[in-house]
Structure 1
Amino acid sequence: MNNLSKRAERAVALATAAGERLGLRAEQPRVLHDVFNVLVHLAPHPVVVRVPSLTLATAGEQAVKQRHELAVTGWLADTGAPVVRPSPLVPREPVECEGRSLTFWEFVTEEPLADGADLAELFVRQAADAAALHRLLAGYPGAGELPVLSPLVPAIGTALARLRTQDGHGLTEAELQRAEREYAVLEVLVRDLTAHFPGAHVQTLHGDSPAYNMLRTTGGPLYSDFEDVTRGPVEWDLTLAGPQAIEVYERAGGRPVDRALLDVMEGARLLQVVGALALVPQMPEMGPMMVPAIDLWRSRAPLTLPRSAP
């Protein structure tokens, strides 16, 4: 518990307090991860509490997303899918604590990567797991309750509006205006994706990048981190994976990938990073890590509606 960041210290306090309300008294709570979320293991219980630490959402808004996440991951777990499941020791519901909404997950033991492991190669291989996950998620019975591409709309709009109120974010006025125009394009696309990409198939998605969100555990690989679960085209889950990973995905039986739609989704992913600049005041050390993606966004042509759009 030494040398924790202030956000991690607060997360431990919130996690232990929420756990005690549910009958889980942590004797040795420990932080497993501290970036966008803080993960707190309520040892000796096999329970991990996810505490949002970098967010623009209210506790109520967080809870709406978390209920979708718990429903989808709970369904996957109940069907026997290899997924980090909601903790069976507490109800499958978010827990509000001092303005944050917390979720409780089963503790798993991760396998350390071998010395010299090539992470890029690993992520390419895991694109096959993303294909398997998409086949599972296509059968999710509650798909109609999920919003379409919610990590984009309204999330990016909220972030850009916050940027408008901040100084020192590193964008010029012209760049901020470009970002706002691109977001307007996304609003149109999300409202009726198939009008612009008639071949697009909308289904339940992981919502982030499943190839980058596999845990290698002592019990085998597990899908994890569904906090951005949504509906949309599989191309959203495959953004920035790279050509090799796309080929692996298709060979593994994933849906054929529409390269034009993938390109639009990759532009949207970079715009999401631009919006995340609004979080830098909460975690200044994140700023330098975002520079390569922001530069890549600057180098791309701005997002526009497809030429075939009516």
Structure 2
Amino acid sequence: MFEHFRRADEVSRFLSSRGVPVVEPVGVGPVRWDGLVVSFASYVEHDPGWRPDSASFASMVAELHAELRHFPGDLPVAGPLRDIDAVLELAGGPSELVSARDELSARWPELPVQALHGDAHPRNVLLTDRGPVWNDFEDAWLGPVGWDVACAARSSLLVREVVAGAYPADELAYWIELRELFGRCWQLAVDIYRARTRLRI
């Protein structure tokens, strides 16, 4: 958990220094306190009902990538697979999901990599009086740009074909498939958490 908070803090500070509109961290960065990881960020007034245009959002992702290419910090590689593996371990290794994970891992494309947002969909952007502001960089990793394009393309707020046309990415079908497995594992983790929370009540 601390690693995710550290990533979000470092990437956000870097982008802010380059004039990219982001939710800016406050203070010295994430700290451990009473068994928790805590960080602080500026409050941003925004329109929670914002629904972006698909092509415009794809262009926003491309522009963000242009800045992230200069990020000098350390980021994990194969980020989504690491998160999927963590969920599979938590869940006791369900065979269907393990097989899907192994099959996708074996087909991992050899493509150029760079710093990515890691979860680049419209719910991680806030529309403010000064325009859209990026948020939630805790899943940043070093990978092919297709992952972020897939995150946008699979959003229920956007049209997949329009996103793909506005920001063509190599092996996009693969990244969408991996993103779908990631979503299944994420939901499994949520279900496990909710079940364990109910048991404690």
Q: TM-score band (shorter)? A: 0.7 to 0.9
More helix by share: 2
Whether the 8 Å CA contact 1:110–1:216 is kept in 2: the answer is yes
Aligned to 1:134: 65
Cα deviation for residue 86 of structure 1 reads 0.8
Take 2:5 and 2:32, find their aligned partners in 1: how far apart are those partners? 11
Q: Distance in 2 between matches of 1:207 and 1:164?
A: 25
Matched, 1:74 2:13: yes
1:188 deviates by 4.2
- Candidates 248, 260, 272, aligned match of 2:166: 248
* Residue aligning to 2:85: 157
2:40 is matched with which residue?
104
Does the CA-based 8 Å contact 1:210-1:223 persist in structure 2? no
Partner SS, residue 104 of structure 1:
strand
Task: Say what the alpha-carbon RMSD is for the aligned residues.
Answer: 2.2
How many residues end up aligned between the 2 structures?
187
Report the TM-score, using the length of structure 2 for normalisation.
0.83
Question: Could you tell me which of 76, 90, 101 is aligned with 1:147?
Answer: 76
Shift of 1:112: 5.2
- Displacement after TM superposition at 1:210 (Å): 4.3
Are positions 1:206 and 2:117 aligned together? yes
Structure 1 contact 127–245 (Cα < 8 Å) conserved? yes
Cα distance, 1:178 vs. partner?
2.5
- Distance, in Å, in 1 between the alignment partners of 2:123 and 2:62 is 13
Q: What is the CA-CA distance between 1:63 and the residue it aligns to?
A: 0.9
Name the TM-score, length of structure 1 as normaliser.
0.55
Aligned partner of 1:270: which letter? E
- Give the counterpart of 1:264 among 174, 188, 192: 174
More off after superposition, 181-190 vs 62-71? 181-190
What SS class does the counterpart of residue 133 from structure 1 fall into?
A: helix
After TM superposition, list the pairs within 5 Å mapping 1:1-310 onto structure 2: 62-87=1-26, 90-91=27-28, 93-111=29-47, 113=49, 119=51, 122-142=53-73, 145-150=74-79, 152-164=80-92, 176-188=94-106, 193-194=109-110, 200-239=111-150, 241=153, 242-249=160-167, 256-258=168-170, 261-276=171-186, 277-283=188-194
Deviation at 1:279, TM superposition (A): 2.2
When residues 210 and 136 of structure 1 are mapped into structure 2, their CA distance, relative to the original with a 3 A threshold, is farther
SS in 1 for 2:101: helix
Distance 1:146 1:189 in 2: 22
Cα deviation, 1:234-270, whole Å, max 9, x if unaligned, reads 1101115111012223xxxxxx412xx2111111111
User: Which structure 1 segments of 5+ residues have no match?
Assistant: 1-61, 166-175, 195-199, 250-255, 285-310
Max Rg structure: 1
Partner of 1:294: none
Q: Separation in 1 of the partners of 2:84 and 2:19? A: 34
Partners of 2:57 and 2:129 in 1: CA distance: 17
Match of 1:37 in 2: none
3-state secondary structure, aligned to 2:65: helix
Closer/same/farther in 2, CA of residues 147 and 155 from structure 1, 3 Å limit? same
- Secondary structure at 2:41 match in 1: strand
